[in-house]
Amino acid sequence: MLREELNNALKLAMKSQDKSSVGTIRLVLASIKDQDIAARGDGNLDGISDAQVLVLLQTMVKQRNESARLYEDGGRYDLAEQEKEEIQIIRRFTPRQLEVLEVESVVREIIKEIDMQDLKDMGKIMGLLKERYPGQIDLSKASSIVRGILTGLHPVL
């Protein structure tokens, strides 16, 4: 489904001569194809799943955020802007990220639902978050929220 959406977006970007979108989407598709080839080597003839594509897109966004920060630190604001533009293009294909308060609410619901009490249950909670909200939660932030709730402390975000 995501592949089809990306291919359709590429066609539209090409028709409208949106060079930055064309370049970014082609880069994403090439990265997916690389992952597909690696998966075939592992015996998966279908390539990577949509969930794995989402993880790949999130990784690409994180890489570009880091690059933009480094470019800004180095005074290369033009390159930082280019990275930020690519981030916006990639994010069109990812689900909306939950805000911190939404993540906290979801974590509290899961804790109540399965009656978890201490830090040894953290792995179960994180697994459920990853399963129920694929691509919608920054798991590093969620981890600090879960830890804060289970220990009774408010996480510093």
The CATH number given to 2-91 is: 1.10.1510.10
What residue ranges do the domains of the chain occupy? 2-91, 100-151
pLDDT for residue 66? 96
3 state SS for 40-74: HHCCCCCCCCHHHHHHHHHHHHHHHHHHHHHHHHC
Q: What pLDDT is stored for residue 71 in this prediction?
A: 97
CA distance 103 to 140: 12
Can you give the pLDDT at residue 47? 84
pLDDT means over runs of 10, the chain (157 residues): 93 96 96 92 84 90 95 96 96 88 89 79 86 83 86 57
Is the four-CA dihedral 124, 126, 130, 132 of positive or negative sign? positive
What pLDDT sits at residue 22?
97
Q: pLDDT value at position 131?
A: 85
CATH T-level assignment (fold) for domain 100-151: Arc Repressor Mutant, subunit A (1.10.10)
